[in-house]
Structure 1
Amino acid sequence: MSAFLTELQMENATRKDDGHWRVIAPLVYQSDVAGMTFTVPTGFIIDLASVPRVPIVYLLAGGTSNEASVVHDFIYSTHPLPRNIADAVLREASAVTDVPAWRRWVMWAGVRLGGGSHWNPQVAA
């Protein structure tokens, strides 16, 4: 069964409030969708899903399921599996943290529509 095996521990990664965070203890997530366990290492820098700060978008999807966002950012950085599975892991991990189904769909649709440039940053967006 999919589960977070450790709790998310993070701190502000910079002295300013720019939305970047540092993982301060490994975050371990076991995924049924991916058929593997992910360990986000101490020191990994994240931006918690890169949700645009446009009011309605942030209201719908921002600030939810930080744990799932950290795992998703890690997968996007390391590419251990295809992008569509990475995005499915975001939705799955959000369900594990009790994010409502409608919000999981909004988050998933957002990464499917806007995540391509972050998946392969060498390709011009």
Structure 2
Amino acid sequence: MNRFPMPLRVELFQDGSGGQTLAGFMYQDPDCGLVQVPAGFDTDFASVRPLRTMSLVALALSLAIGALGIVAGWLGVALLGGVMACLGGALGALGFGVLLLYAAVVGYGNGPAVIHDHLYTTGELSRQASDLVFYNALRSSGSARWRAWLMWAGVRVGGATRYRETKS
């Protein structure tokens, strides 16, 4: 059974921050039923821009601290040079790790991400149910289990501030 009865049609924003649906989009979730996104809905897809920004900042800091470590070593300040080199290496590893994480999730699951963004915006399902729908939609769209889990874990860890419950 095709759980996405309509293709996703989106016009991308010029600044690359996301897009707007040109037509309605639907997903039939096995646990929560039919989820419908109306035409004209704004989405930022998988919201991975903070990962990209964080990885670039960490890499830049690691280069700067590494350069300071080299300069400190040349000046004969062994302790400071060693600390700077270790700090630069740690930041470099962090930056590289975040870049790998970004590469693993960017560009995957645009349809499921639109569904998830809509659920988070409207609050029609609980946050936990919305995240489950996201995972199910990722798997239904062909994403590998490890990638779907990684993206699900990302929204579970970092999505609380973006979720808006509907007040009754």
1:117 aligns with 2:161: yes
CA distance in 2, matches of 1:45, 1:57: 25
CA distance in 1, matches of 2:36, 2:19: 17
User: Which residue identity does 1:68 align to in structure 2?
Assistant: P
Identity in percent: 35
Structure with higher strand content: 1
Correspondent of 1:58 among 102, 113, 127: 102
Residues 46 and 109 in structure 2, CA contact (< 8 A), matched pair in contact too: no
Deviations along 1:87-121, one digit per CA (max 9) or x if unpaired, are 01011000111000000010000000000000139
Runs of 5+ in structure 2 lacking a partner? 56-98
What is the TM-score of this pair, normalised by structure 2? 0.66
Q: Which residue of 2 aligns with 1:75?
A: 119
CA distance in 2, matches of 1:2, 1:82: 25
Runs of 4+ in 1 over 3 A off after TM superposition: none
Deviations along 1:67-98, one digit per CA (max 9) or x if unpaired, are 00000000000111111110010110001110
Q: Which residue of 2 aligns with 1:104?
A: 148
Deviations along 1:5-34, one digit per CA (max 9) or x if unpaired, are 111000113xx3232201001001111121
Structure with higher helix content: 2
Tell me by how many angstroms 1:2 deviates. Answer: 7.0
Rg larger for: 2
Residues 20 and 40 in structure 2, CA contact (< 8 A), matched pair in contact too: yes
CA distance in 2, matches of 1:37, 1:114: 25
CA distance in 2, matches of 1:8, 1:17: 20
